Copies of this chain bind each other. A is one copy, B any other.
Amino acid sequence: MAELAGSALQQALGRLVVETHGAGFTDVSAAVDDWLARERAGNGLLTVFIRHTSASLVIQENADPDVQVDLLRRLDWIAPRNAGYVHDCEGPDDMPAHIKAMVTGTSIAIPVQNGRMVLGTWQGLYVAEHRDRPHRRELALHFLGEVGRAD
């Protein structure tokens, strides 16, 4: 692909609030692409950052929902409840949630082409909630690249 010179680079900073429904994956791909469209993003780089330590960001298969079932079960195996945690004052699901967030991650950088994340065919961008109860999770969004003209 050729070098993308000639158009001034700009940036946009945004925020996306995601209501989760307890432990599980919430697909935010469309909401993030909508934000890119509102910012008139062209080619560039998107960074998604979750401002929490008991929820995380995961890019995973968006085709068969069973995949998410197995991913969650394996996270439960990696970070079970009642494993003798020292930090237990916030409930039995809290420390496992921190561990799950640690091994999955807080930030993802994704190239953007013609205003859309370059996700593969079977990739979705998910907020992974690791607490039992629904939470309001905040994502910080950053785009840096070409911003389209209004004409």
| Contact between chains at A71 and B98 (CB < 8 Å) | yes
A contacts with B, residue count (CB < 8 A): 69
Q: How many copies of the shown chain assemble into the complex?
A: 3
The smallest beta-carbon distance between A49 and chain B, in angstroms, is 6
Contacts of A39 in B (CB 8 A): 3
| Contact between chains at B99 and A71 (CB < 8 Å) | yes
| Contact between chains at B106 and A107 (CB < 8 Å) | no
Q: Apart from A52-B123, A74-B78, A109-B109, what are 8 other A-B pairs with CB-CB below 8 Å?
A: A1-B15, A3-B10, A5-B147, A51-B123, A53-B60, A69-B87, A74-B83, A144-B145
Please list the 4 inter-chain residue pairs (A to B) with the smallest Cβ-Cβ separation, ordered nearest first. A51-B120, A66-B87, A111-B142, A66-B86
